[in-house]
A = this chain, B = another copy of it.
Amino acid sequence: MTFPPSPSAVLAQVRIALDERSYPIAIGHGLLGDPTTWAGLPAASTALVVTNDTVAPLYLAPLRAALGHHYRRVLEVVLPDGEQHKDWATLNRIFDALLGAGCDRKTVLFALGGGVVGDMTGFAAACYMRGVPFVQVPTTLLAQVDSSVGGKTAINHPLGKNMVGAFYQPARVVCDLDTLRTLPPREFAAGLAEVIKYGPIADMAFLDWIEAQLPSLLARDAQALAHAVRRSCEIKALVVGQDERESGLRAILNFGHTFGHAIEAGLGYGAWLHGEAVGCGMVMGAELSHGLGLVDAAFVARLRRLVEAAGLPVRAPDLGAERWLALMRLDKKSEAGDIRFVVIESPGRAGVRPAPEPLVREVIARCCA
């Protein structure tokens, strides 16, 4: 496959409104290799592109060439691919590169890759000299619809996922839909989990649309993808704009994530993809909501069917109930030892609540069966 595969065209712009930290998300085709995409960013002599060894052969050269129109030096750091590398040792390779090249605090970082690259590059940008600008260039569906937007950055700690990080907003997000064509099917399905998520928490009409368009999405139809990315970013923008630092509302974006993070940590990072764990976690979250009397069994069955049809696991791994509970107590939403879950209050509306432990055990038992 040659690049760029299509003429440059911005199909949609979504704005994240956060006062002086506001920024645009550009969604379109052929954006990555087009110099005009990168105009108007903070002036600097040096750009550093952070990517991984899977993405680099596909998209690093065209991005570097395009950035060369705006920066005197375009440096690169190629990290090993995978969630298991989202740690301090790998993060430090970015600092080594920046300091080794004498990069000043105007240097602009570019995160070219999926959620792991975005989280690490964002956190490096937040910390390097106490903050340099950065740009998200997400190349996976999951990163385009979720992780690149909203300023959550982090690395993992052996005792928990995303435990060390910062809220730090990018200067811009550029979603080049062409990059989704090279995504392996398993990664693509993992991204669909986060797209599906926006339905039950915020927009049941979008859930209807996803169900109807699932075959087109799985066939990576350009128009269907454009709508899925755009609508996902719109919903995320609305939520993040109201609660940047997750003091309340923003937590609803973590529907399925308390169960999901336990799966990821319990099996070891990288065993299941994040989106796979979230897919299964959403089914568990729906079961929990049903157990709390909030939604009916048909709603749970509908969500399970859609998650499964998207190619995602709906059976949870059997970690043992005690380990499940211990892992979930480490969740960032926990308070004073109580696990708190994002639940569906009613279809299209989510909230955060603690749940009785017997019910949580029942959900685990049922979903691991």
Could you tell me which A residues sit within 8 Å of B by CB distance? 45, 88, 92, 95-96, 99-100, 102, 104-106, 126-131, 152-154, 157, 159-160, 162-167, 245-246, 329-330, 332, 334-337
Chain B: minimal CB distance from A152 (Å): 7
Count of identical protomers in the assembly: 2
Q: Is the CB of A167 within 8 A of B100?
A: no
8 contacts between A and B (CB under 8 A): A99-B157, A102-B330, A102-B334, A105-B332, A126-B166, A131-B166, A131-B167, A131-B245
Of B95, B154, B165, the contact of A164 (CB 8 Å cutoff): B95
Residues of B near A45 (CB, < 8 A) are 336
Alpha-carbon distance between A49 and B128 when the two chains are bound, in angstroms: 26
**Can you name the residue of chain B whose Cβ is closest to the Cβ of A153?**
B130
Alpha-carbon distance between A245 and B105 when the two chains are bound, in angstroms: 12
Residues of B near A167 (CB, < 8 A) are 130-131
Known A131-B167, A166-B131, A335-B104: A88·B99 in contact at CB below 8 Å = no
Sample of 9 further A-B pairs with CB below 8 A, known A106-B335, A128-B164: A95-B163, A99-B157, A99-B160, A104-B334, A127-B166, A129-B332, A130-B152, A130-B153, A130-B165
Q: Is the CB of B166 within 8 A of A154?
A: no
Known A104-B335, A106-B335, A335-B104: A163·B131 in contact at CB below 8 Å = no
Residues of B near A126 (CB, < 8 A) are 166
Of B105, B129, B165, B335, the contact of A127 (CB 8 Å cutoff): B165
Residues of B near A332 (CB, < 8 A) are 104-105, 129-130
Alpha-carbon distance between A329 and B105 when the two chains are bound, in angstroms: 12
Chain B: minimal CB distance from A109 (Å): 14
Known A45-B336, A102-B337: A95·B127 in contact at CB below 8 Å = no
Alpha-carbon distance between A162 and B127 when the two chains are bound, in angstroms: 10
**Can you name the residue of chain B whose Cβ is closest to the Cβ of A336?**
B45
